[in-house]
Amino acid sequence: MLIDERGRVTEWRRPAEELFGWSAEEAVGQSVAELMREAAMSETWRRKRLSSGSAVLVKPVPRGNPLVWEVLSAVDSAAVQDLAVLRAMFAQAPRGLQILDDQLRVVWANPATHMMCDTSSGSLIGKHFTEMYRLQDPDEEEAMVHRVLESGEPVLDRLVREARQSDRGTRRTYSFTFVRLENPRGDVVGLLASAEDVTEREHAQKRLAVLDAVRKDVGQRLDVIAVCEELVNAVVPAFAGIAVVEVVEDVVRGEAPPLAPVDPDVPLRRAAFRGRKSAYPVGDVRHLPYGTPFSRVLSDLRPRLISVGEDSLWLAADPARAEAIRRSGAHSLIVAPLALRGEVLGVVSFYRYQQQDPFQEADVALATDVCTHAALCIDNARRYTRERTIAATVQRRLLPQQPTAQLTVDISHLHLPGPEGGGAWFDALALPGARTALIVGDVAGRGMAAATTMGQLRTVIHSLAALDLQPDELLARLSDTASRLAAERAALPLGDPLHREPLSAGCLIAVYDPVDLTCTIARAGLPEPVAVFPDGSSVTLPVLGGPLLAGAGNAPFPATTVDLPEGTTLAISTSALADEVLAPCGPLRPLLDRGGQLPLPDLCDNIVYSLRKGTRTGETLMLLARTKALPAEQVLTRPLPADPEAAPIARAQTRRQLEDWGVDEESAFTAELIISELVGNAVRYGAPPLQLRLIMDRVLTCEVSDASGSAPHLKHARTVDESGRGLFIIATLADHWGTRYHAQGKTVWAE
């Protein structure tokens, strides 16, 4: 049965009819006291009570206000045990348990609820659910609870935040569970609400999530500024509303950081900022004012939790920062150092503003962990920046600072260093006979290893070029050097990073002859060059490719000789630009084809301007050379007889030609003597046909060719010897001399 507050029966069920004998029409509206009095006087009811042991259970029912009581039979021992279990659970449960009526008013609450709401026992009865917990958005929560009443679908572990209270620093977070209550007939009688204060649990989970995000996202790039940007993006807004990273300026440049305590005159760069209002622009470099938490942290490396208010004395030391804090509404601040092994890299400031909860002591520990990881990443980036700077400096010093101007070829180069440096290089070397060697090379790898290897190979090229070797022979000897360097790498200890990086290098050598208007080319690994002719047509030169330099073994490097008319532009590139510029269908090939008449520096600029962003993955180098012909009046070519008359004929031709070129008598006499000795050696030790060639370019070059492959060599004749002094005389009088071999014979020359 159900009884109202006045003690009158409002509902009379079948078990009551069977026990007392009155129908529902007779009992409803009657006083339960009168009914019990009459029943006690009934002999029939007394017999039923004795035979059945009719104990009853009385409990409140959430039916609104006023309260309604339900009377149930409790003869079943299991029901009594269940009741005991429920009573113990409700009384001792650590979670707050409340029974709400259909108007969401509290009908009953356990002791844990009163402790959670900081109220005395019984003071919550009759209060609305949203008033009891002071929720952040009571309307939304009330609508959600009404949906549970209507649908019967429970809501489990719903996280709800408390509204901000002026007398409490941190807002609570509750975990709510709502289950609809129904009577045995299925009527909705109210709700069972369960609440738990999970504030600390949620804070701990958020701190772990922030630390995981920092460890995952910070340090992806090896750049100091980029790492600082990753840091502020990882902590805002998950941990702080505003974050500022200031780094020692020397650290940004890759130099060693100072030790703590940091001198007040050490400048710091505002490397990254995220939030509402910044006191200074990102990139600003300045000293930290004395007497602020920021300068104090750089002195003792101790993080600080600070409550920011109008009475904060340190704000006066930095008016710009104080104004930014005031305008942003910041009220809580953590300042933590970026330090590693006692070396100071910078300082990080975390702010919370307006309705955000102030920082707690546990947040200081999190800020310390975050800054420790960030400091390690920044130091790695600093070391990499330093290594990259040194490698770039070495490479820049090893490359031609100002390529020597050539009279028979115009050159211009395009060099775009990669983000990690590299080993690309080029050279334009003057060779005897007014020829020019055009060289482009590329060492795989990055950093100091690539730069120093490039310097070694470039030095070898310079030394070998002085021997006047053909391009294929040059590459073969350069490959031998590269193989020895590769073997040295392989012999390094296993722990050396260079041991795991095999040496790989490519090179292309082209020797242009302005007299014959030919170019002899040999390549090892690099793309085929492109020739753009004066009429605007272009062709990829069919130069057979050899293997990469290191590890080539005895593989040949075939040389190809092509005709290049005067005004032809030769383009030689590393592999990075081959697909875009050198390939016949490359997107920038038309630029090269149309640039035959443009000045070479302008053509280089046009190519750079047209490069698509993101297409380059490494270092890019291209050498452009435009050929010139040596004027015919600057060259004398005469055949010579293979007998003793050759020397007088050669001297006479030389004398007349030098007079026409205006050469002074002393130089002309020296040239005649050198020609006489060269021709004498060719007649005596060579084979016909013989040829004399004089070339007047930047120097006077005297050449005598014959069909013999025998090699002349310098020797020191004794005083009693009648011969053997010819080459010694030539070596003494000439600036340079040497021998160049052909397919049929050789040429001995002197400058």
Q: Is the domain of 508 the same as that of 621?
A: yes
Q: Is the domain of 437 the same as that of 566?
A: yes
Confidence label for 717 from pLDDT (cuts 50, 70 and 90)? very low
| Side-chain half-sphere exposure of 726, counting CA atoms within 13 A | 20
Confidence label for 343 from pLDDT (cuts 50, 70 and 90)? very high
Could you tell me if residue 478 is inside a domain?
yes
Residue 720 reports pLDDT greater than 50 = no
Could you tell me if residue 186 is inside a domain?
yes
Could you tell me if residue 151 is inside a domain?
yes
Could you tell me if residue 384 is inside a domain?
no
Q: Is the domain of 121 the same as that of 68?
A: no
Residue 159 reports pLDDT greater than 70 = yes
Q: Is the domain of 474 the same as that of 620?
A: yes
Which of 109-118, 583-592, 678-687 reaches the highest mean pLDDT? 678-687
Q: What is the CATH number of the domain that holds 50?
A: 3.30.450
Q: Is the domain of 101 the same as that of 238?
A: no
Token pair listed for 169: 């620093």
pLDDT at 158: 86
Q: Write the burial class of residue 656 (CB in 10 Å: 0-12 exposed, 13-18 middle, 19+ buried).
A: exposed
Domains contained in the chain, number: 5
Q: Is the domain of 22 the same as that of 171?
A: no
Structural domain for 68, as ranges: 1-92
Q: Is the domain of 682 the same as that of 710?
A: yes
Question: Percentage of the chain with pLDDT > 70?
Answer: 88
Residue 651 reports pLDDT greater than 50 = yes
Q: Is the domain of 115 the same as that of 84?
A: no
Could you tell me if residue 712 is inside a domain?
yes
Could you tell me if residue 390 is inside a domain?
no
Beta strands in 341-434 (DSSP E): 343-353, 409-416, 423-431
Q: Write the burial class of residue 471 (CB in 10 Å: 0-12 exposed, 13-18 middle, 19+ buried).
A: buried
Q: Write the burial class of residue 316 (CB in 10 Å: 0-12 exposed, 13-18 middle, 19+ buried).
A: exposed
Q: What is the CATH number of the domain that holds 140?
A: 3.30.450.20
Could you tell me if residue 560 is inside a domain?
yes
Q: Is the domain of 434 the same as that of 470?
A: yes
Read off the pLDDT of residues 443-478 as tens digits, 9 standing for 90 and up. 887 777 788 888 889 889 988 888 888 999 999 999
For tokens 């026409």, the residue is 660
pLDDT at 77: 43
> What distances in angstroms separate CA 217 from CA 293, 346, 377, one per listed residue?
28, 19, 11
Of the three residues 40, 64, 92, the one that is the final residue of a domain is 92
pLDDT at 576: 76
Q: What is the CATH number of the domain that holds 342?
A: 3.30.450.40
Q: Is the domain of 229 the same as that of 357?
A: yes
Of the three residues 143, 167, 197, the one that is the final residue of a domain is 197
Residue 166 reports pLDDT greater than 50 = no
Residue 688 reports pLDDT greater than 70 = yes
Could you tell me if residue 517 is inside a domain?
yes
Token pair listed for 171: 């807002």
What's the average model confidence in pLDDT over 630-649? 91
pLDDT at 44: 60
The contacts of residue 699 (CB under 8 Å, 6+ apart) are 735, 751
Q: Is the domain of 574 the same as that of 431?
A: yes
Q: What is the CATH number of the domain that holds 517?
A: 3.60.40.10
Q: Is the domain of 257 the same as that of 347?
A: yes
Of the three residues 627, 646, 678, the one that is the final residue of a domain is 627
